[in-house]
Amino acid sequence: MLVKEGETEREAQEFLKVEENVKYNENGTPVKRLRRKARIVQSENIAGRSFWNELPSLAKEVGGFTEDVDKINPEYVRFFQFENKLMPSTWIVVRIDGCHFHRFSEVHEFEKPNDKQALNLMNSCAVAVLEEIQDIIFAYGVSDEYSFVLKKDSQFYQRQASEIVSIIVSFFSSMYVMKWKEFFPRKELKYPPSFDGRAVCYPSSKILQDYLAWRQVDCHINNQYNTCFWMLVIKKGKGKSEAQNYLKGTQAQEKNELLIKEFNINYNELETMFRQGSLAFWEKDITMTHENTASVETSHRKVIVEHCDIIKPDFWEAHPSILDENPPTF
């Protein structure tokens, strides 16, 4: 098609990339396909005409520059950028979620339905994010997702959504790779994980608490279902669709009864981290040192991880500074 449309064969080849062996026939002969291949080209002047003249097919795809670099008015180019600032004086929540973690957890043979080390790794990365971005006051995580809450009047990156989301996502992903060996010393990381992220603003602490409660309810529903599902598959040898049909329409109480009767599992005695997810937040840490006869109290803040109910008001009442609109400085 490219040649038909006026490209020379060399240009078409260059645009279409390289031939690659994709598989072998039964008689051992390789099957070749043309694959697009990324090329790295070094040039000091990508806005100059000569750069694009040497790559005509690329220029055709992206559309040529109307002016050479020295004639471009920077204001005109900047005009195309847009600001997407998050609403002022609202709680910003950035939720990140592992991309295709169904596959990632299969490839890395995570324990089913919960892999304690995988969850501990997620928690450790979340702690690192809180330590890095001090405006994050609280985080809640379950499975392959984590929600990070920034303080209400945060001016982090002037509240620009794409900057805030991309920093959290990229820092978390890098941490996940860096810390992998610490949590899986005998497992090779087969390919790099990635996370997506989005930012949502919540105008009141009540709505923020409702959001977090929604994530914890989701954790409970999924965990109870997954526990039953994998018990039926692993312990009872049921097929996956058979187990799915078996659980269709069952209520929470029925699932608990199934676990007790069939597997002697008391759901409420399963690890709290599996049932309730994980919270990471700043807490005041007081250390006492003794100098001669006097004891000196020093305080600093550190991030701690807990697993508890955040649907009921008890947790929030016990930690009023988290949702305090004017948090104390430690």
The contact set with ligand GDP (CB under 6 A) reads 97-98, 100-102, 105, 110-115, 118-119, 143-144
Based on CB atoms, which residue is closest to Mg ion, 122 or 232? Answer: 122
Q: Which helix (H) or strand (E) holds 131?
A: helix 116-132
**112 touches which of Mg ion, ligand GDP, none (CB within 5 to 8 A by kind)?**
ligand GDP
- For the bound state, the minimum distance from the C-beta of residue 325 to ligand GDP, rounded and expressed in Å, comes to 32
Residues 6+ apart with CB under 8 A from 78: none
The nearest distance, CB 260 to ligand GDP, in angstroms, is 23
Between 14 and 145, CB nearer to ligand GDP: 145
Smallest gap from Cβ 224 to Mg ion, in A, equals: 19
Nearer to ligand GDP, 164 or 219 (CB): 219
Name the one residue in this structure whose structure tokens are 């609280």. 138
Nearest-approach distance from CB 145 to Mg ion, in angstroms: 7
- In the complex, least distance from residue 175 CB atom to ligand GDP, rounded to whole angstroms: 17
Q: Residue 231: which of ligand GDP, Mg ion, none does it interact with, CB under 5 to 8 A by kind? A: none
Q: Residue 176: which of Mg ion, ligand GDP, none does it interact with, CB under 5 to 8 A by kind?
A: none
Chain positions contacting Mg ion, by CB under 5 A: 97-98, 101, 144
Handedness of CA 76, 81, 82, 88 (dihedral sign): negative
User: By C-beta, is 14 or 144 nearer to Mg ion?
Assistant: 144
Residue 149, Cβ density class (10 Å: 0-12 exposed, 13-18 middle, ≥19 buried): buried
Of 43 and 222, CB closest to Mg ion: 222
At 259, which helix (H) or strand (E)? helix 252-263
H or E element in which residue 272 lies: helix 272-276
Residue 78 touches which member of ligand GDP, Mg ion, none, C-beta under 5-8 Å by kind: none
Neighbouring-strand partners of residue 300:
285
Task: Report the candidate in 121, 93, 113 with the shortest Cα–Cα distance to residue 178.
Answer: 121
The DSSP-derived string for 28-54 is SPEEEEEE--------S-TTSHHHHHT
